[in-house]
Structure 1
Amino acid sequence: MIIDAHQHFWRLKDRDGQWPPASLDAIYRDFLPDDLLPLIGKAGVEGTVLVQTMETDADTDFMLDLADGHSFIKAVVGWVDLRAEDAPEQIAHRSSHPAFKGVRPMLQDIADIGWICDAELEPAITALIKSNLVFDALVRPAQLEDLLRFARRYPALPVVIDHGAKPLIASGHYSAWRRDMAALASLPNVYCKLSGLLTERGEQKPEAVRPYAETILDLFGPQRVIFGSDWPVLRLAGDYQDWLDFCRDIIPPIHHEAIFGANAVRFYSLSDR
């Protein structure tokens, strides 16, 4: 069984002024289930985790509606305003939907990189834990130290680092990223997605991604690495099948079952889906 634990859908009409810009031809159009189904069918992917791309309730509603109509969408990671006074009530409401499995604030775009450690968020984070939801961490390398403080503060909250924290592959920066990722990997509640790395390589060949991918595998081990495509953003740098094959090549076959499926099922509690 293969689960793609990180993919997106969007409609441009819903994204007035939002990313992606028209200059990104490969992804500047609508992407909906009929666009992905042929790709996952060919690749043998049985299910996906649909992840938010906008900080709006409407986007989360849109994803949950898609999950209701398409059985291959096994989970939705949505958005909740974690600073809102009624955030715990919002989280409790969202968790009543069987596909809603977690939240993802757009941390990479928040100027205050220490925002995630604000005590104001504690009621919302407590509500996530109470509702058995998870936290997708969309961060860049500069935010890893703050993410470490956050993950230490809430050891009962499962956290997954999206896209390996977007390492600076294009410029070859490695040592500081590895150090901070190693600290996070020492915490048992922190996982990492093997996703989104191709788009960080810039003009370098795809093989430039390998040392970073292998480091993720070494640090987090076969039980806490989760495969994801980051499609359709992946289209900016590569092909769906090629990324899957690349990951198959670097992951020892003995760990394929865990990384390509079982870890996502466990982390996102997909057994009911």
Structure 2
Amino acid sequence: MRIDAHQHYWKLDRGDYDWISPETTTLYRDYLPSDLESELTRHGIGKTILVQAAATHAETEFILELAAKHDSVAGVVGWLDFDDPKWPEALERFKANPKFRGIRVMIQEMKDPREALRPHVIEALRGFASEGMPVDLLAVSNQLPAVIELLELVPGLHAVIDHICKPQIEAGVTEPWATQMKKIAERHPGVYCKLSGMVTEADHRGWKPDDFTAYVRHIVDVFGPDRLMYGSDWPVCLLAASYSQVFDVLERALPDSLAEEELEAIYGGNAARFYRIGHAGRPEHPEA
């Protein structure tokens, strides 16, 4: 089964989404399962991982409720406020939903990325590591030193780096991102990486498919195909590309040398294993 390992839904009148404004015209509307259904069908995507898009416990509860009503959602990655002493109670509520599959640490949104290294945050993450809870790490490339330190402080964290850690694709910059990602891949063999969120790091209006090849192939080289997941980052990707264009960008950028079973892993098997959403079978290829 093919799995989109990273997408979002939101409903603006909930008031959770401070980062979405009328200026972000494409995103300033509700996005719900019915809006994505045709794209999933077109590309043979059987399931998705629904990821939080707002830093509130209430939004996680909202997307868990959505997931319970829609079979296409295989799992939900939520958010926890580690500065709220009652966060363990929120976590227990989330765990009551069988589609809850982990949490995301939004380093990208921190004024100082070292906020993620505060003792109480590290203590919480060590607890997650001990139970094997999946943790998404959202950061941009200039925050990689903090990501590296976090992974050193929490050995064995069952983590995935979102959006290949947002390198400066528009500017064509690869270093020190490339070296830092290689360091993570080599020192932490249990850490995965999502091949997602790339088009919005390129020139939104003028990107070309070749803009992404060096970045994708470096990540394939250092992480290997058994630790990578396809993700659309829909609907955020719509700022720069359609769902089909995102899908095509990755297909073009992946090395031709990958075997069929390695492609199956990238397009579903690895996500199923990482998020523990059931048996990872062969992907269903859509009709031409």
Same fold (TM over 0.5): yes
Question: 8 Å contact 2:17–2:53 — kept in the other structure?
Answer: no
1:15, distance to aligned residue in structure 2 (A): 3.1
Aligned residues: 273
Aligned to 1:213: 216
Q: Which is further off, 246-255 or 181-190?
A: 246-255
How far apart, CA to CA, are the structure 2 residues paired with 1:188 and 1:92? 29
How far apart, CA to CA, are the structure 2 residues paired with 1:66 and 1:161? 25
Secondary structure at the counterpart of residue 151 of structure 2: helix
1:35-86 CA-to-partner distances (Å, cap 9, x unmatched) read 0011101110000000001011111011000110001100100011123323
User: Counterpart of 1:228 in structure 2: which amino acid?
Assistant: G
Question: 8 Å contact 2:10–2:30 — kept in the other structure?
Answer: yes
How far apart, CA to CA, are the structure 1 residues paired with 2:221 and 2:279? 30
The alignment status of 1:245 with 2:248, answered yes or no, reads yes
The alignment status of 1:49 with 2:49, answered yes or no, reads yes
1:16, distance to aligned residue in structure 2 (A): 6.2
1:156-197 CA-to-partner distances (Å, cap 9, x unmatched) read 221111101111111121121101111111111211100010
**Given the alignment, which residue of 227, 237, 249 partners 1:224?**
227
Aligned to 1:133: 133
Aligned to 2:207: 204
Unaligned segments of structure 2, at least 5 residues: 281-288
Q: Are the structure 2 counterparts of residues 102 and 16 from structure 1 closer, same or farther at C-alpha, using a change threshold of 3 Å?
A: closer
1:186-227 CA-to-partner distances (Å, cap 9, x unmatched) read 111211100010111114323211111111111110111111
How far apart, CA to CA, are the structure 2 residues paired with 1:249 and 1:95? 38
Aligned to 1:189: 190
How far apart, CA to CA, are the structure 2 residues paired with 1:116 and 1:134? 17
The alignment status of 1:265 with 2:265, answered yes or no, reads no
Aligned to 1:7: 7
User: Counterpart of 1:271 in structure 2: which amino acid?
Assistant: G
Length-normalised TM-score, structure 1: 0.94
Q: Which is further off, 19-28 or 119-128?
A: 119-128
Length-normalised TM-score, structure 2: 0.89
Question: 8 Å contact 1:194–1:213 — kept in the other structure?
Answer: yes
How far apart, CA to CA, are the structure 1 residues paired with 2:100 and 2:16? 25
1:272, distance to aligned residue in structure 2 (A): 7.8
1:221-246 CA-to-partner distances (Å, cap 9, x unmatched) read 01111110000011111121222233
Question: 8 Å contact 1:101–1:133 — kept in the other structure?
Answer: yes
Q: Percent identity?
A: 37
User: Counterpart of 2:249 in structure 1: which amino acid?
Assistant: F
Q: Are the structure 2 counterparts of residues 89 and 124 from structure 1 closer, same or farther at C-alpha, using a change threshold of 3 Å?
A: farther
Aligned to 1:119: 119
**Off by >6 Å, runs of 4+ in structure 1:** none
RMSD across aligned C-alpha pairs, in angstroms?
Answer: 1.8
Q: Which is further off, 117-126 or 154-163?
A: 117-126
How far apart, CA to CA, are the structure 2 residues paired with 1:89 and 1:122? 18
How far apart, CA to CA, are the structure 1 residues paired with 2:4 and 2:234? 9
Aligned to 1:58: 58
Question: 8 Å contact 1:87–1:124 — kept in the other structure?
Answer: no
User: Counterpart of 1:238 in structure 2: which amino acid?
Assistant: A
